[in-house]
Structure 1
Amino acid sequence: MLQKGLEGIVAAQSTISLVDGEKGHLVYRGYWAKELAQKNSFEEIAYLLWEKRLPDQKELCEFKEGLKCQRELTSHEENILRELPEKMEMMSVIRTIISSTGTSDYQWPSSREQAIRVSSIIPTIIAKRHRLQQGKSPIKPDMELDHVANYLYMLTGSMPLNEHVKALTGYLILTMEHGMNASTFAARVIASTQSDLISSLTGAIGAMKGPLHGGAPSGVINLLDQIGSIEHTESCLRQQLEDGQRLMGFGHRVYKTQDPRAEALREITLSLATADPWFELANHVEKIAIQLLEEHKPGRRLYTNVEFYAAAILRAVSLPPELFTSTFTLSRTIGWIAHIFEQNENNRIIRPSSEYVGPLPV
């Protein structure tokens, strides 16, 4: 039987993550993702997804140093970055420069050294391109800062607040991996042909660029901007619902109960609400919105999704909307690589069938 979009079709067995929309579960390698997001660093969870276990202190230090040492772009990559058309979108910039790194050194099967190199330069690509487009000088990576703090530093040139690093780290951990989504499937299909890491990642980035997959949570920011203050929350949300408008950031195609990613980000933002009023507003809006959605649409099970708190966090750290999808890509690259490694380990070329429904010759 035809399943449009392959919905519900199992295409692989994986030990990387469990996504259970009915129960609201998200598990990374046997750990609750929401707990990892609140307690661990970006580097620890990247290591977990790639190596199938959390690192000890020595392994973590070595892994962090490996990422730091690869942050700088080569002169070749730097030249491409500066020569690309002004109107090229950031996702296309990332795709093009990552593709350009695919020398003969990148052969099947993929290696951790290759994975570290690609993961290290994506934040640099985003930050440098963004500053150049603003007419500003790029900021060199700070080798004393960890992955997430350095990304914020390269974007602004200022040392980021610890609260902002913690919030963004939680978001990036929770977007690293999410099962067999469109971009991950694209990466695994390409890897299954025994193509190289760069080809697989380039395909995944192309899939993420599509608005149906990597679309930014800009609608949530527009909603929060429109509300503006705690005092206006209920009246504004009621008006939107009475006008038949959708509340952005609520409801999810997979999760029919609480989105565990939103739960984790809520906990993070609640702990930081006193440090940033934007988090306080987001927490209040969520509370009122859930009440009103149950009142206006009883039984629909419309809960907060990850985009709601993603928007609050990305706005709080002053990340411009044009960088939302590329920042998502910065984290999801870790998950893509984990799937490429897994495909390499037990490979069979992925080749689904199609059903011909055209005319027959007479």
Structure 2
Amino acid sequence: MPTNGTTNGASNGTAPHPLDVPRGLAGVVVTDTALGDVRGREGFYHYRQYSAVDLAERRGFEDVWYLMFYGELPDAAALAAFTARTAALREPPAEVAAALPALAGACAGSGPLAGLRTALSLFGASAGLRPLYDLDADRRRTDALAACAVVPTLLTALYRLGRGLEPVEPRDDLAYAANYLYMLTGEEPDPARVRAVERYLVSTVDHGFNASTFTARVVASTGADLAACLVGAVGALSGPLHGGAPSRALDTLDAIGTVDRIDPWIRERVLAGDRIMGFGHPVYRTEDPRSRMLRSIAEEFGGPLVDFAVRVEARVEAILAELKPGRELHTNVEFYAGVVMELCGLPRTMFTPTFAAARVVGWSANILEQAADSKIIRPAARYVGPPPPQPVPAR
């Protein structure tokens, strides 16, 4: 494992001393994976042996789901069978469906992603999901398929119930992305919007050992059931420094408002040390390939919002280069993801849930991979408190 130069060998011949590593485990390799990688200096990431952006441009969501779970792209027959199989799993158990109205009401102030945590827990219990440790590989994958298939249904139902609307039943004649938009709006989805959303979903299925994926793998390493792993991942995703940023990036455009306010608004925020949502990434040192693809999708739609976003992007990068020389700060996936989802009619409260509807496949693939390794993830921490042991004072 890479370190910052401190390696102490073994302690009394049995256990190694703890290793000093960078804060946040930045750059530290913790395991092997066959699922994909992110090459930050190249501006490239992939799912297994394929470019993720190429997959988003050329394949559908079910193709990539199959790839992540089975290690290869399906042929036409395998894709048809897989699509039919997963479409049949979209209905939640009756106990879960019955609990959703109360759950949506309880989470009215925090949104569908908060409700998903509890809904997934209930789904795991209702579906009888057993610890991964006790299951064979086929049973684990069956559980993962069911969880991935039901997440869009849960998210859209929680959103609609929170707005006083009835949930929309899933349709098994629609593919994943089209069915998601249908359940969200209750209307036949526009093909152009479906394809735009599908390309976004494919582009966000997986992205290396990000915080939510790593969280899912930590829980999986304990042998817990699949729902428990996904709940942990959703909790990590909810943070604004992870998947919670698409709507905030769009809020930035709203706050700037007009072209004449772009430069003064940006300068004020940068000089104050504020973070500009939608810019910068912990891994990429060049343009985020997801942002590049999503910008092209936005430009296919065109319109004032897209023109303004492109103008803001250019000025933010120029001003950051001026005020923070030597640092590579470009738009990340959240900036244009917000623009694309806005253009496709998704409400802002569903931006991060939509991200989760895609990333659940990547989480699950990582959970399945981790479950094949019985080693629990158990790092160490450096104690920096008062020196022990000290006498316990009397009352």
**TM-score normalised by the chain length of structure 2:** 0.83
Query: Residues 356 and 238 (structure 1 numbering): CA distance in 2 closer, same or farther, change over 3 Å?
Result: closer
- Structure 1 position 29, deviation (Å): 0.4
Query: Residues 85 and 150 (structure 1 numbering): CA distance in 2 closer, same or farther, change over 3 Å?
Result: closer
Query: Residues 191 and 226 (structure 1 numbering): CA distance in 2 closer, same or farther, change over 3 Å?
Result: closer
Question: Who is 2:389 aligned against?
Answer: 361
Greater relative contact order (CA < 8 Å, ≥ 6 in sequence)? 1
Question: Who is 1:351 aligned against?
Answer: 378
- Structure 1 position 262, deviation (Å): 0.8
* Structure 1 unmatched ranges of 5 or more: none
Residue 97 of structure 2 corresponds to residue 101 of structure 1? no
Of 283, 307, 329, which aligns to 2:356?
Answer: 329
Letter of the 2:350 counterpart? L
Query: Residues 71 and 85 (structure 1 numbering): CA distance in 2 closer, same or farther, change over 3 Å?
Result: closer
RMSD: 2.2
Query: Residues 144 and 94 (structure 1 numbering): CA distance in 2 closer, same or farther, change over 3 Å?
Result: same
Letter of the 1:82 counterpart? P
Of 111, 114, 129, which aligns to 1:92?
Answer: 114
Question: Who is 2:265 aligned against?
Answer: 240
Query: Residues 153 and 85 (structure 1 numbering): CA distance in 2 closer, same or farther, change over 3 Å?
Result: closer
Mapped partners of 2:290, 2:264: distance in 1: 28
Query: Residues 8 and 136 (structure 1 numbering): CA distance in 2 closer, same or farther, change over 3 Å?
Result: same
- The percentage of counterpart residues that share the same residue type is 40
Mapped partners of 2:143, 2:187: distance in 1: 30
Question: Who is 1:15 aligned against?
Answer: 34
Question: Who is 1:144 aligned against?
Answer: 173
Question: Who is 2:6 aligned against?
Answer: none
- Structure 1 position 2, deviation (Å): 4.7
Of 332, 336, 340, which aligns to 1:309?
Answer: 336
Residues 127-169 of structure 1: CA deviation (Å, up to 9, x unaligned): 1121112112221112221111111111111112222111111
Question: Who is 2:244 aligned against?
Answer: 215
Classify the secondary structure of the residue corresponding to 1:65.
helix
- Structure 1 position 272, deviation (Å): 3.5
Query: Residues 136 and 119 (structure 1 numbering): CA distance in 2 closer, same or farther, change over 3 Å?
Result: same
Question: Who is 1:41 aligned against?
Answer: 60
Classify the secondary structure of the residue corresponding to 1:102.
helix
Mapped partners of 1:267, 1:117: distance in 2: 33
**TM-score normalised by the chain length of structure 1:** 0.91
Stretch moving more, 243-252 or 76-85: 243-252
Classify the secondary structure of the residue corresponding to 1:243.
helix
Of 124, 127, 131, which aligns to 2:160?
Answer: 131
Q: Is the 8 A contact 1:152 1:160 kept in 2?
A: yes
Letter of the 2:162 counterpart? Q
Q: Is the 8 A contact 1:241 1:296 kept in 2?
A: no
Residue 215 of structure 2 corresponds to residue 172 of structure 1? no
- Structure 1 position 247, deviation (Å): 4.3
Question: Who is 2:4 aligned against?
Answer: none
Residues 47-68 of structure 1: CA deviation (Å, up to 9, x unaligned): 1111111111111111111121
Matches within 5 A, 1:184-199: 184-199=213-228
Question: Who is 1:252 aligned against?
Answer: 281
Residue 45 of structure 2 corresponds to residue 26 of structure 1? yes
Max Rg structure: 2
* Structure 2 unmatched ranges of 5 or more: 1-19, 391-395
Q: Is the 8 A contact 1:106 1:198 kept in 2?
A: no
Query: Residues 264 and 347 (structure 1 numbering): CA distance in 2 closer, same or farther, change over 3 Å?
Result: farther
Residue 77 of structure 2 corresponds to residue 58 of structure 1? yes
- Structure 1 position 32, deviation (Å): 1.1
Mapped partners of 1:345, 1:107: distance in 2: 13
Letter of the 2:298 counterpart? T
- Structure 1 position 296, deviation (Å): 5.1
